[in-house]
């Protein structure tokens, strides 16, 4: 097992359960659980007011198209959805032909309640190709920081992979609004610890963890 694990969680409850399970497995393997950091991806949609942020979220959500989702799903599942109608159930042979990410396939089966989901099930239940594929922290800088702290302090993760909802602009908004709020709360570093990723993740060769600060 590595020292930095990227793990996608839909909700904080799921994150907490799987975070505890993975940390337990690390401990059972004879390693310090703090020597492995877990970072889920999130989207942050931030505005000067909640209304502005919600308007941004609605606009970003409106850009998603089923064709885009199916292309991205086909890539990760190694399956050609173009041969199937949106609402036609996939056959047992079709499902067996999905040779890509089985965890995603199984999640769609569970969420749809059928062993033969339709392409529309794959789109809607996965959120692939939309901003709802992963958690969306939407609101003012304080709102977004609240949600990040809830996950971090609630033992749902050790930090985050902040994904861009759009480029350019998304990272600029996060840096301008959210980072100063996190720094004000003392949960985000004021400067970089070193010149390497390992140093900045708080994972030197000795794997000694310092004071808890959120890793992005």
**Taking a C-beta distance cutoff of 8 angstroms, is the pair 162, 42 a contact?**
yes
Q: Would the pTM of this model clear 0.75, i.e. be above it? A: yes
| Model pLDDT, residue 204 | 65
Given a contact cutoff of 8 angstroms between Cβ atoms, the answer to whether 158 and 26 are in contact is no
Q: Is 100 in contact with 79 (CB distance < 8 Å)?
A: yes
Q: What number is the average pLDDT over the span 194-201?
A: 87
* Residue 211 pLDDT > 70: no
Can you list the pairs that 66-74 forms with residues at least 24 positions away whose Cβ atoms lie under 8 Å?
Answer: 66/120, 66/123, 68/129, 69/122, 69/123, 69/126, 69/128, 69/129, 69/130, 70/119, 70/122, 70/123, 70/129, 71/129, 72/128, 72/129, 73/122, 73/123, 73/126, 73/128, 73/129
In the predicted model, is pLDDT for residue 213 greater than 80?
no
pLDDT of 176 strictly over 90: yes
Provide the pLDDT for residue 1.
Answer: 59
Average pLDDT over every residue of 129-138: 95
Strand partners, 163: 43
């Amino acid at each position: 097992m590595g020292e930095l694990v990227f793990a996608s969680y839909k909700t904080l409850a799921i994150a907490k359960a799987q975070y505890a399970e993975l940390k337990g497995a690390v401990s059972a393997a004879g390693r310090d659980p703090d020597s492995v950091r877990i970072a889920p991806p999130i989207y942050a949609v931030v505005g000067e007011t909640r209304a502005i942020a919600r308007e941004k979220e609605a606009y970003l959500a409106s850009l998603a198209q089923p064709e885009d989702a199916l292309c991205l799903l086909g890539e990760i599942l190694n399956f050609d959805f173009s041969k199937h109608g949106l609402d036609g159930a996939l056959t047992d042979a079709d499902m067996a032909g999905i040779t890509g990410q089985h965890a995603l396939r199984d999640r769609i089966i569970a969420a749809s309640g059928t062993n033969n989901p339709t392409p529309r099930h794959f789109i809607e239940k996965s959120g692939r190709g939309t901003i709802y594929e992963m958690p969306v922290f939407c609101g003012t800088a304080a709102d977004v920081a609240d949600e990040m702290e809830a996950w971090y302090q609630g033992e749902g993760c050790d930090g985050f992979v902040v994904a861009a909802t759009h480029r350019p602009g998304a990272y600029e908004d996060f840096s301008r609004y959210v980072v100063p709020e996190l720094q004000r709360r003392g949960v985000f570093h004021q400067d970089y610890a070193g010149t390497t990723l390992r140093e900045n993740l708080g994972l030197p060769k000795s794997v000694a963890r310092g004071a808890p600060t959120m890793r992005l």
